[in-house]
Structure 1
Amino acid sequence: MINVNIPGIQEAFTRMGRELIERCAGETPPVTLEELYGRFLQTNGWAERELRMRLDELHPGVGWSAAELDFVQQQSPEDDGPYWVLDAVDSMMHLHQGMSLWAMSLCLIEGGMAVFSIVYDPHRGEFFHAVRGGGAYLNGTPIRAARKTALSTALLATAPPAVPVPDPAVTEAAARSFARLLPEAFLIRMMGSVALQLAYVACGRLDAYWEYGKSLYNWAAGALLVSEAQGSLTGPGGEPFTWGCTGIIAGHEPLRAQIQAVLHP
């Protein structure tokens, strides 16, 4: 693994988070889909360019994913060498609606594995990072996933399909899973940024997270946090969480297993 300049990356994301908040402060929420997509392209494009420029200065020679929204290409590694997967604004809708619970995420893929990741929440100034084999941290302090074992006491989170034209099978699976887990769990929340919800599982604020889909890059940064915080990760049916999976369950293993049993009896 390359020697990642964590302080430099934290400084870059902290500055960009502050600038995004300032840039969008006082905005009137978008009225039409055209306006929403226009703002997304403008804001995300600007933030991504700025962050890429800084990361290229910190780590010249590391490549970039070209498949953030290409779920087919996400079914296998894009390269054997190191490359970044960047989501400059995860849950862009929240940002442009004047809400919190959006985040910024970055994951380093090397040798077909996630080896380093960050999730940054600009509103709370919280910088989560994980190094494969080196643990997970919140603002430099080690974190650990919650230890709950009973689904009846658990606070779960999920996310609905968020692509412009959802896959009907994924939409159906998401709705069915919510209906099955709602009477079994203590509470279920949908909180915006997927990466941030997984970071909350890693630090114990949420007990578990599940989702259906094929957007591996949407989960990669947060999944490494959970794994390094002694949480468990699988696909929805208990299969390994890896390239080609059709969803994710993340949390303490006894709880993860109970969620799997409810989803796939």
Structure 2
Amino acid sequence: MQNEINIPIILASVRKIGDAFLKQYKQNTIPQSMDELLKQLEDIDVLCLTSLKKDLTATFFHMPWHIGDEFDTESQKESTIKGDYWLCDAMDGAIQYLQHIPGWTINLAFIRDGKPLFSVIYDPLATEMFWAKEGAGAYMNGKPLMVSKKTDLGVMLSVFEYGHQDKSTNQLNKEIGMTVTRLLDNFGIVRNYGPHGLQLAYVGAGRIDLFIQEDIDTYNWIAGMLIAKESGAEILNADGIPWQWGSESLLVARKSITEKYLEIKSLK
């Protein structure tokens, strides 16, 4: 089979560009206008993609690349590329990087026939490398990951996220508000952290107990979802239906925790 996974090469290439960004961390001028922000975001994308392509093309020479545009809602509803391709979130949490605050990672996923086969998330600040392969488990710096074993909601850490889907013509902002209220009323700790993929990897590591998002963010989710799944988490939409590409919400936690959350939700 073509394009079999060479894990050490992939991890090395992601670490290389992540460490390059770390050397430049806080060296940029914090953007003060939309033009400055967009230019710096574009520079991050170009630098990251150029480095990864250079390092991985020799091994995966005929694989196409796709940069996930989190602002393009429609493109996130379907995996249109057939066969194998790279899905690159050049920097998840790029806004934090440009604002000189923590919470940014390099995310890369190997997609085969519309499903993630392998994914990696590298956090240069923490020197933590999360990765997973379909059916082979998830790891952080070589150690196997496992989801939280907590049973008491009062000591659980839940996180909520939101993306860039247009909320002017629907009830999404209201639904997000209801979700946050539901978390505050039932979970001991509620946070909104920023880098979606890293939060999902943290679910896999048992650091976060539940992740929920009410609007679509496929490109930000993919790498972290596989890591969480291979660590033992359920991957559902916010209504408790198994997640599939195009689902417009996401709920991730150990099965017993998703069941508790959905029971709470059903009580309105």
TM-score in terms of structure 2 length? 0.91
User: Separation in 1 of the partners of 2:228 and 2:46?
Assistant: 28
Given that residues 44 and 90 in structure 2 are in contact (C-alpha distance below 8 angstroms), is that contact kept between their aligned partners in structure 1? no
Q: Partners of 1:264 and 1:32 in 2: how far apart?
A: 44
> How high is the sequence identity, in percent, across the aligned residues?
27
1:61 aligns with: 62
* SS of 1:183 mapped into structure 2: helix
Q: Could you tell me which residue of structure 1 aligns to residue 16 of structure 2?
A: 15
* Deviation larger for 9-18 or 82-91: 9-18
1:117 to 102, 116, 119: 119
What's the CA shift string for 1:23-42, capped at 9, x where partnerless?
24333322223222221112
CA distance in 2, matches of 1:248, 1:48: 27
User: RMSD across aligned C-alpha pairs, in angstroms?
Assistant: 1.8
For residues 139 and 206 of structure 2, the distance between their equivalents in structure 1, rounded to whole angstroms, comes to 12
Q: Secondary structure at the match of 2:106?
A: strand
Report SS of the residue matched to 2:117: strand
Q: Distance in 2 between matches of 1:203 and 1:57?
A: 32
**CA positional deviation for 1:129:** 0.6
| 1:65 and 1:83 in contact (8 A); partners too | yes
| Contact 2:197/2:221 (<8 A) preserved | yes
How far apart, in 2, do the equivalents of 1:67 and 1:222 lie? Answer: 14
Q: How far does residue 190 in structure 1 lie from its aligned partner after superposition?
A: 1.4
In 1, are the aligned partners of 2:147 and 2:231 still within 8 Å (CA)? yes
CA distance in 1, matches of 2:266, 2:90: 34
Deviations 1:62-81 (A, max 9, x none): 22225533331222222330
* CA–CA separation in structure 2 for the residues paired with 1:86 and 1:203: 22
- The letter of the residue matching 1:82 is D
> Displacement of 1:3 after TM fit?
1.8
Q: How many Å apart are 1:45 and its aligned residue?
A: 2.1
- From 232, 235, 240, the counterpart of 2:234: 232
Q: From the superposition, tell whether residues 135 and 14 of structure 1 become closer, same or farther in structure 2 (CA, over 3 Å).
A: same
**Deviation of 1:160 (Å):** 2.8
- CA offset at residue 254 of structure 1? 1.1
1:167 aligns with 2:167: yes
Going from structure 1 to structure 2, the CA distance change for 1:98 and 1:177 (only over 3 Å counts) comes to same
1:137 to 132, 136, 139: 139
Superposed, 1:174-193 pairs within 5 Å as 174-193=176-195
Does the CA contact (< 8 Å) of 1:64 and 1:84 recur in 2? Answer: yes
Does residue 84 (structure 1) correspond to residue 86 (structure 2)? The answer is yes
Task: Structure 2: give runs of 5+ residues left out of the alignment.
Answer: none
Aligned-partner Cα distance in 1 for 2:66–2:265: 32
Contact 2:26–2:97 (CA under 8 A) maintained in structure 1: no
Tell me the alpha carbon deviations over residues 228-253 of structure 1, each in whole angstroms, 9 at most, x when there is no partner. 00111100001111122111111111
Give the match's secondary structure for 1:137.
strand
User: Is 228-237 or 53-62 further displaced after alignment?
Assistant: 53-62
